[in-house]
Structure 1
Amino acid sequence: MLLAIDLQSDEPIYTQICNQIIEGMAKRELLPGEKLPSVRNLGADIGINFHTVNKAYQILKQEGFIQIHRQKGVVIHPDGVAKADELYFAKLESKLKPLIAEAVVRSVTEEEWGKLSKTIFDEMQGRSVE
């Protein structure tokens, strides 16, 4: 698994790791039951402290994306991720609201927002982007 970590980004490294693993799952590059590198191996591979990787893995575990076994190591959750429920939609809304507010302040139209959202959604589902 190849992660592209931007050490100069304002986004914390553990967040970048989480986001890229979830994106890999969305694009079906990482499949249920697939093994991920150990905390120490991933840290060494990308040149970061293993505690940072551990934090990312703990967040992914807590949110149901991965399982961590003493013998088997770290794997993408073999049963897949739970379907979206009311709690997830509330969390999604709280994350989207500030992004949409900033877009509105920057004069992004609803049409432009919708087009960008569709482009990203299509990319995650492996559909060709026009």
Structure 2
Amino acid sequence: MRLILDLDSEVPIYQQIRDRVVEAIADGLLAPGASLPSTRQCAVDLAINFHTVNKAYDLLRREGIIRINRKSGAVVHPDVRKATAELRVGADWERRLRTLLAEAVVRGAAEEEVMAYVGTALEGFAGFAEQGEGGGRG
């Protein structure tokens, strides 16, 4: 897995790491059970402080996306693609999505353009079509 970060972005580096890992899982580049590099190795590869990587991994762990233990290190949670009560109730992702949609509105994007992009993005995620059939999208 190769992470590409924007060091000039307003988004904190730990959040970018977290987001790239989530995207890699959605894209099928990281499968459930796949190992992630150690925090130290990831920090060396990205030329950043290992505490930054540790913060990203801890966030992913708290969200139930990865598991961390001393023997196997950080691995993608085996049940990562199963719906959770937290997701159904509405978590932080709804606020982040609302903000992104608000940015599109503020920048004058047409509803059709936004909906087309959302559809294309969802279809691009590995396994989404199979998961979404019969009840995921409407």
TM-score by length of 1: 0.87
* Aligned position for 1:105: 106
Q: Which amino acid is the alignment partner of residue 24 of structure 1?
A: A
Q: Which amino acid is the alignment partner of residue 65 of structure 2?
A: F
CA contact (8 A) 1:5 1:13 kept: yes
* Aligned position for 2:50: 50
Partners of 2:106 and 2:5 lie apart in 1 by 30
In the alignment of these two chains, the number of paired residues is: 126
Distance 1:65 1:8, change over 3 A: same
TM-fit CA distance, 1:96: 2.1
1:24-78 superposed Cα distances (whole Å, 9 cap, x missing partner): 1001110111111101010011100000000000000000000001111111112
Which piece of structure 1 moves more, 3-12 or 73-82? 73-82
TM-fit CA distance, 1:18: 0.5
* Aligned position for 2:116: 115
* Aligned position for 1:34: 34
Q: Which amino acid is the alignment partner of residue 29 of structure 1?
A: L
SS across alignment from 1:35: coil
1:94-114 superposed Cα distances (whole Å, 9 cap, x missing partner): 222222223223221110110
Distance 1:93 1:58, change over 3 A: same
Partners of 1:90 and 1:53 lie apart in 2 by 23
* Aligned position for 1:15: 15
SS across alignment from 1:36: coil
TM-score by length of 2: 0.82
RMSD, matched Cα: 1.8
Partners of 2:80 and 2:99 lie apart in 1 by 29
1:83 and 2:107 correspond: no
Gaps of 5+ in 1: none
Which piece of structure 1 moves more, 89-98 or 21-30? 89-98
Partners of 1:9 and 1:28 lie apart in 2 by 26
Partners of 1:123 and 1:15 lie apart in 2 by 22
Partners of 1:28 and 1:21 lie apart in 2 by 11
TM-fit CA distance, 1:126: 7.3
Q: Which amino acid is the alignment partner of residue 123 of structure 2?
A: D
Q: Which amino acid is the alignment partner of residue 105 of structure 1?
A: V
